Amino acid sequence: MALKRNIRTMRLLLAEDDPLLGDGLRAGLRQLGFQVDWVRDGQAAERELRAQPYAAAVLDLGLPMKDGLDVLAALRRDGLAVPVLVLTARDAIPDRIRGLDLGADDYVLKPVDLHELAARLRALVRRAHGQVQECLQAQDLVLDPAARTVQQAGAPVTLSQREFDLLQALMLNADRVLSREQLEQHLYSWGQEVESNAVEVHVHHLRRKLGAGLIQTVRGVGYMLLRQAPPP
């Protein structure tokens, strides 16, 4: 269970009660490469953040059922460290100070530019992994989350969306074993059908494109990508 809690991928929880804004943000963030689950009230937001290993959350403050600040305070009080970006129309300085003091990692006022929001979310996930640079690096691979490109030994590699997302999850968690369930949670958001062997198929395709030895199988546990190539 601890391993499941600690994983950080690019699956997001969006908590926004405005149907037009919520639908637009979900669609736009998905186009920019995120997996997005959308809830419309504070109780649902808190429940999902406690139950699922999200990379980050976009949390509106003016939520029905439970205010966003109360959700944030409850999560931090119980030691849940998921990065939270507060998205709100409340522009008063005291509200912003309170949100940051309660444990928000970033604060954006509505209306927000979608590309700025995506960049801020990528930065939150990077910081959660101790990453300084935008690009992820492991062995001879360089992955750019913003451009959604991959290079191996300086040469571009063409990957499908699922292959890219799977490789990103493995590189974000380099030197750690991820189970098939954890990888499925990264690759698929709510309502998306998951074939029983989907992860195995994507791993097979990545090995064919990047080399058979890059992704290690840990029998009975899952898969791992080593940050440094093993000695010959």
Q: Which of 8-12, 154-158, 198-202 has the lowest mean pLDDT?
A: 8-12
Mean pLDDT across 87-101:
78
Q: Does domain 2-128 have CATH number 3.40.50.2300?
A: yes
pTM of the model: 0.65
Query: What is d(CA 48, CA 84) in angstroms, rounded to the nearest whole number?
Result: 13
- Average pLDDT value over all residues in the chain: 85
Could you state, in order of their start, the residue ranges of all structural domains in the chain? 2-128, 136-225
Residue identified by tokens 């064919």 is 208
Q: What are phi and psi of 24, to 5 degrees?
A: -65, -40
Query: What is d(CA 209, CA 166) in angstroms, rounded to the nearest whole number?
Result: 13
pLDDT score at 6: 39
Cβ pair 15, 57 in contact under 8 A? yes
Higher pLDDT among residues 52 and 44, named by residue? 44
Angle between helices 68-77 and 93-101 (to 10 degrees): 20
Q: Which of 32-41, 82-91, 182-191 has the lowest mean pLDDT?
A: 182-191
DSSP string spanning 3-69? HHHH---SEEEEE---HHHHHHHHHHHHHTT-EEEEE-SHHHHHHHHHHS--SEEEEESS-SSS-HH
Highest mean pLDDT among 8-22, 150-164, 190-204: 150-164
Residue type, 153: A
Note the pLDDT tens digit of each residue in 190-216.
555 556 688 899 999 999 999 988 899
Cβ pair 165, 35 in contact under 8 A? yes
The kind and range of the H/E element at 143 are strand 141-144
CATH number for the domain whose boundaries are 136-225:
1.10.10.10
pLDDT score at 34: 87
At 7, the pLDDT band (50, 70, 90 cuts) reads very low
Tell me how crowded residue 178 is: count the other CB atoms within 10 A of its CB: 25
Note the pLDDT tens digit of each residue in 65-86.
999 999 999 999 999 889 999 9
Check residue 132 and give left, alpha or beta (phi > 0: left; psi -120 to 50: alpha).
alpha
Cβ pair 3, 123 in contact under 8 A? no
Higher pLDDT among residues 152 and 31, named by residue? 152
Cβ pair 48, 92 in contact under 8 A? no
Cβ pair 206, 167 in contact under 8 A? yes
- Which of 176, 154, 181, 152 lies closest to 164 in space, CA to CA? 152
Residue type, 221: V
Distance of CA 11 to the CA centre of its chain: 4
Residue type, 185: Q
Q: Is 90 helix (H, G, I), strand (E, B) or coil?
A: coil
